[in-house]
A and B are shown apart, each in its own frame.
Chain A
C-alpha cells in the first residue's frame, strides 16, 4: 500500500489551494485500487445522491411559509404528472399544463424587465438551499436598475425548455429560471440559473445562457446574483441571448481565477 501524507502541513501554501478544491485528490492507492476508506466513502456519497434524486421533497415546506408569503410565490406544474414520468419524459417537463398557463396568465404581469421562475429540476434541496438568499438579491438588483420585476412563481417537474412556454405567455425582456441541478457526489445543493432574452417557442440551448454550480463550494449566491444581473444587462444591450453573449469579467470576483502576473 502506498502511503500519502494524511494531513498536509498547514504552513504550506499548497494546503490552502487544496482546501479550495472539493475534488478527491491525493487519496493514495492499494495496487491499482482505491484505499478502503475512499472506496466506501464513494459508495456512501453515491447512496446519498441516489436518495436525493428519488425523494420528492415538499418544497413549500422547505422554502417555508414566510418566504412564500413575502414573495407571494405560487406553484404550478409542467405536463409531467409524477417524479417517475418527469424523469423519463423530458418533453412533458418542458411544457406547462393548461392550469399552469391559466394561473400564470391571470396572476403575472406581462412585459416585465426581469421575470424569475423557480424550477425543481433534479434537486429540490438545491432550490430550498439557494433560492431564499438569491431571490431577494435579484429583486434588489432589478430595483436598483429601475427594472420592472415580474411576480416569481414555481414550476414543479420542470425542465429548462419550459422557458419557451413562459416566454410566450409573459413576454418578459429577460427570463431567469433557477433550477436544481442533478445531485452529484459532492453536493445535492447545486443550483443553475438558465437565462434567455425574450424566449419563445422554437428557441434552443443556442439561445440560452447558463450560470451553473451555485452552491457554497462553487459560485456563492452573492456572486451568482451579480452575474445574473450583469448578464441580463448584456442581453438587454445586445437584444439577444445565447452563444453570441458571453459573460465579461472586468474585475474578477474573489473565488474566481487568480490573475496570472506575467500574462
Chain B
C-alpha cells in the first residue's frame, strides 16, 4: 500500500503506517527526540491527509508493533470485539472522526463501541481532531466505575487526595489528607506515593489510611502507590489494599522496564479481589485497579519500536482496560520537557489522553501537572484543568496548594477542585457527598462557609492514629 499525497504541488511519501501515524501528530518534543516527528508543517498536514483516507480495517489488519514480538499487541488483538467492529470497518479515519463528533452518536452509542475500537484507531482519530473536538467528543462519554463508592456519573467530578510526605511521616500524611477532606476532596481515592519502596513503609501507610477511613466510615478508597509487588507483599503481611496501583506503558519492553508484565497484573488483580471478599467492607463494585500512564514513558525506556508517543499511550489504555480499573489517569506533565516541551504540548497531550481513554472505555482522570524544568507554570495547569473539566474528566489530583513536597512537581490543589466544581456545577461522588453533608463539611451541596466541627473531629483522629 502506498502512503503518499500532494500538498500545494509538493509530493509527500511515507514509508509505512508507523511513519504516517508519527508524522500526523501535533508537534511534541518526544516525537522529535525519537526522530519520528514531521520535519515541516507541510509534511505534518500531508500525513494527516493520508491518515484521513486510511480505513479502520487497514489499521486493524496492520499492527504497528508485531504481535509476535509484543504481548501488548497480542492483547489488543485478543480483546478486539470484531463483531461490533464490523459496521465501522469500512470507515476511513476521516469519516470516523465525523462519526464520533456527530450529535447522533451520544454517550450510549459511543459507549457500545468501546471494545470495537482498538487503541491504534483511537490514536489515529485523535490525530485529526482539534483541541475542541477532543473536548466535545470526550464530554459525551461517561465511564462509570465502582469500588467503595461510585465514580464517573454525569455531574460528578472526583478528586484524589495526594498527601505525600518526603519522609513518609504518617502524621504529616494524615494531616494533608484531612485538609483535603475538609475541601470535599478524596472521593476518587486517598492515594499516597511512598518516598520509600519497602513493605514496612507501604504497610504502615495502608494501615494508617484505613484507620482514618474506618474512624469516620468515609465512603472512599485508599491506596499506596508503590510497585505492585511491594503492595502485594504488604497485603500478604496483613495490610488492607483497596486499590492495587501500577504504572503502565504501551509495549511489553516498556512494561518490563517497570518490572511488570500482563501475568503479574492478572495475578495481582485476582489476589486483591480475593482479599476484598475476605474483608468486611460494603463494596459497591469489583473494580480494584488503579493505573497511571503518560506519553513518553516507552521512549524513555528505549522501548518504543519506532512508534510515536501518542499511539503508545493509546496502547497503554489497551492494557489498562483489560484489567477493569476503578481509576486511570495520565500524569501529563510529569515526564519533563524532553517529551512534552511546554504548556501547549502538555495541554494537547492531556486532551488527547483523556479523549482516547474515554473512547476506549476507561474511567479517565488526569494529573494536570508540570515540572520546574518545563516551559509551564500554574497558569498552564489552571488552563488544562478547566479544559478537562469541560471535557468531563472523571477526576483530578488534590495536592495541598498543588505543591507535591515528595515528588517535587506541581499538580492541582484542593482549592482548584473547589473552583472547578463550582464553575461547572459539579459534585463529589454521591456516596461521598452524603458523607460530607453528614459531617457538616458540605451544606446543601456546597462547602460550608464557616468552619465546622468536622475539622476538630478529624484532627482528634489524626492524633490517635499518628
**Interface residues, chain A, with chain B CB atoms under 8 Å away:** 2, 4, 13-14, 17-18, 20-27, 29, 31-34, 38, 42-43, 45-46, 49-50, 52-53, 87-91, 122, 181-187, 190, 204-206, 209-213, 215, 217-219, 242-244, 246-249, 252, 255-260, 263
Q: Most chain-B Cβ atoms within 10 A of its Cβ — which of A14, A33, A209, A259?
A: A14
Q: A17 contacts which chain B residues (CB < 8 A)? A: 169, 171-172, 174-175, 462-463, 466
Q: Is the CB of B198 within 8 A of A217?
A: no
Q: Is the CB of A243 within 8 A of B176?
A: no
Residue of A nearest to B179 (CB): A25
Within the complex, the shortest CB–CB distance from B282 to chain A, in Å, comes to: 22
Interface size of B by CB at 8 A reads 74
Q: B383 contacts which chain A residues (CB < 8 A)? A: none
Within the complex, the shortest CB–CB distance from A66 to chain B, in Å, comes to: 30
A181 to B371 alpha-carbon distance, docked (Å) = 11
Q: A91 contacts which chain B residues (CB < 8 A)? A: 33
Residue of B nearest to A249 (CB): B200
Q: Most chain-B Cβ atoms within 10 A of its Cβ — which of A181, A244, A252?
A: A252
Contact flag A42-B259 (CB < 8 Å), given A204-B301, A212-B195: no
B110-118, B147-155, B202-210: which lies at the interface: B202-210
List 21 A-B residue pairs with CB atoms under 8 Å apart, sorted by A's residue number.
A17-B169, A17-B463, A20-B167, A23-B164, A23-B401, A23-B403, A24-B401, A29-B415, A32-B419, A33-B415, A45-B403, A53-B372, A87-B373, A122-B373, A184-B405, A184-B409, A205-B301, A213-B195, A217-B167, A246-B230, A257-B170
Q: A218 contacts which chain B residues (CB < 8 A)? A: 166-167, 195, 406
**Interface residues, chain B, with chain A CB atoms under 8 Å away:** 29, 33, 163-176, 179, 195-201, 204-205, 207-208, 211, 227, 229-230, 233, 238, 256-259, 300-302, 336-338, 371-373, 377-378, 400-410, 413, 415-416, 418-419, 422, 449-451, 459, 462-463, 465-466
Q: B400 contacts which chain A residues (CB < 8 A)? A: 23-25, 27
Query: How would you classify the secondary structure of chain A's contact residues: helix, strand, loop or mixed?
Result: loop
Q: Is the CB of A46 within 8 A of B301?
A: no
Residue of B nearest to A186 (CB): B405
Determine which of A42, A122, A213, A263 lies in contact with B378 in the assembled complex, contact meaning CB atoms within 8 Å: A42
Contact flag A18-B195 (CB < 8 Å), given A184-B409, A186-B405, A257-B201: no
Q: Is the CB of B459 within 8 A of A256?
A: no
Q: Is the CB of B259 within 8 A of A243?
A: yes
Q: A255 contacts which chain B residues (CB < 8 A)? A: 167, 169
Q: A13 contacts which chain B residues (CB < 8 A)? A: 463
Q: Is the CB of B401 within 8 A of A249?
A: no
Residue of B nearest to A211 (CB): B196
A121 to B353 alpha-carbon distance, docked (Å) = 29
Among all A-B residue pairs, the 10 with the closest Cβ atoms? A184-B408, A21-B172, A243-B259, A218-B166, A17-B171, A204-B257, A32-B419, A24-B401, A206-B259, A49-B372
Within the complex, the shortest CB–CB distance from A67 to chain B, in Å, comes to: 26
Within the complex, the shortest CB–CB distance from B119 to chain A, in Å, comes to: 23
Q: Is the CB of B208 within 8 A of A260?
A: yes
Contact flag A246-B198 (CB < 8 Å), given A184-B409, A185-B403: yes
Q: A22 contacts which chain B residues (CB < 8 A)? A: 166, 405
Q: Is the CB of A247 within 8 A of B405?
A: no
Q: Is the CB of B176 within 8 A of A23?
A: yes
Contact flag A219-B176 (CB < 8 Å), given A32-B418, A181-B408: no
Contact flag A205-B258 (CB < 8 Å), given A23-B403, A257-B205: yes
A177 to B270 alpha-carbon distance, docked (Å) = 37
A10 to B405 alpha-carbon distance, docked (Å) = 24
Q: A256 contacts which chain B residues (CB < 8 A)? A: 167-169, 196, 201
Within the complex, the shortest CB–CB distance from A80 to chain B, in Å, comes to: 11
In the complex, besides A88-B337, A185-B405, 13 extra interface pairs with C-beta distance below 8 angstroms are A14-B462, A21-B172, A23-B403, A26-B179, A27-B400, A38-B401, A88-B29, A182-B371, A182-B372, A184-B409, A206-B258, A218-B166, A218-B406
Q: A50 contacts which chain B residues (CB < 8 A)? A: 372
Contact flag A14-B29 (CB < 8 Å), given A32-B418, A248-B198, A260-B207: no
